[in-house]
Chains A and B, each alone.
Chain A
């Protein structure tokens, strides 16, 4: 029996996961290119973390759960229903951008329709919101999971600790998902946290913390599945730490050459979840090399179409900036 079948994932599921990974990667790379071409003012990347994100999202239920992602979570929002066009509209800051109507930078996700709670730039502020969603849902008798994600640097913020403690006290159905990509912009993990692993921090709040290899898509899925089951079973929160790597600089305005070696980045690239997972699917016979080629072609076309649509789409009129400070 294959590893994914043991986890209850059908062949179609893992093919779908791989497709989302390719889509997130292709969108990210296109946005980066458009930035370098001067067409998009700013990009913040998910590159290297898509596998962990998509595995996490597949352990959730997009019709039941709420997600409170952070700015790298392109993989999460795609699985929860945002489209390639939505992502490009946000990149080009167009009126139709479902996240914010072009008001926010790319990566600042939000969409009521898709149960993605609106986010901001100050890190960790979404973490107590996830606790609030879980609390409110419990009060309403609604059985769901509030998922929130953040980087390891953000796990130093008071909001992370206050939120974990609150969720721990009330045993709320929250999954705290830390995408530990080893860097908070330029500052490496060893200068960020005093303990060995971010997951160690959960012990202080009375719930389990687990660390998984973020390049092992099925490993992340398994850990997340368990966390989701705990949450739904009334056992309270879990902190899942996925060890990943940020293959790009922090953002389109960052230059990572000053704080990490090319060798380190190349080494991380060789362990990229996209490569590892593709290899797994080929070995298991779930996908043929030919099918992978077809998939890449299909996705490239999707991204082309999304780019063309978003580039042509209108900006919001300038005066729209005055709307929706309060209810209208």
Chain B
């Protein structure tokens, strides 16, 4: 085990896979000489050269589309979209092409592609550098969506994503890059896609969340522990496909569920998690399913008080947990 920053764990995953498999390469805006605007790919061009750490023209649909072509040919591209907010021009390529290549060719072609994109707010990113976009994609069969909360998961899930034979969207919370560090197993370390992780065992209430919110919810759970409320905390890790079994079992365990996500509420991942619980565990519940999410406004404002108003934090989560515990 070595303690690593989230951002370094991502870089390690890319570097190790590129050393292991020469069909893996990176393409995106500023990923080469600059090492990425967040420096995720820093130093990689020196080791692998500009053909495998490729600075592309500023054109997201081409980044995705060229990567899809290379994946169909048999390589394993890791495409970086500089901010998740800028993925929109590539949505046609991701949804009409990558997600359907295997299906539409009746398993003749497939698309082993990873698209990495930093997402999330709380970093003064305003409307177009703060969005969470998982809900736009999680409706689409054929895609997998991974949103790790820890450095160990970031590395293990990214390696799994690179080795996955189908397209994977890998959303990295930019607030986690240099905030979170934890023990990352040395050597070969993979984490399976589609499996949630229990971060905390508890008996009174269950919190289900993912990404940065896992850390805020952990903090809130510690606070509630001192007030005598015991929290079960489930980190989804993968939002598509959802780990239905883990969701249902975590809900049944306490009978009181709070779903937390930074993304706005309507039609979010929480809606699906809630529906799964309602379908499979309704009569095990002791309280209505609760959701604490970003407000349904287009995006997060630049104004610091408004940004704080949008973002969830340990206090807001603790308040929602108390309310649920008291039901």
Contact = CB atoms under 8 A, between A and B. Distances in A.
Contacts of B180: none
Contacts, number: 140
Interface stretch (A22-30, A116-124, A177-185, A252-260): A116-124
B70 A120 contact: no
A133 B72 contact: yes
Nearest to A138: B51
A4 interface: no
Given A103-B106, A323-B107, A66 B59 contact: no
Given A103-B103, A326-B142, A132 B70 contact: yes
Interface stretch (B89-97, B120-128, B258-266): B89-97
Nearest to A165: B57
Contacts of A132: 65-73, 77
Contacts of A97: 106
B105 A100 contact: yes
A308 interface: no
Contacts of A325: 102-103, 141-142
Interface size class of B (residues with CB under 8 A): 35 or more
B161 to A, nearest CB: 13
Nearest to A323: B107
A128 B96 contact: no
Interface string B180-198: 0000000000000000000
A133 B73 contact: yes
Given A166-B56, A326-B142, A128 B65 contact: yes
Nearest to A97: B106
A232 to B, nearest CB: 17
A101 B106 contact: yes
A166 B57 contact: yes
Given A133-B72, A133-B73, A158-B61, A166 B141 contact: no
B20 to A, nearest CB: 16
Interface of A: 66, 68, 97-101, 103-104, 108, 110-112, 117-118, 120-122, 125, 127-137, 139-140, 146, 158-159, 162-163, 165-166, 169, 323-328
13 contacts: A100-B105, A103-B103, A110-B105, A117-B72, A120-B104, A122-B96, A128-B65, A129-B65, A129-B72, A132-B77, A162-B65, A166-B56, A166-B62
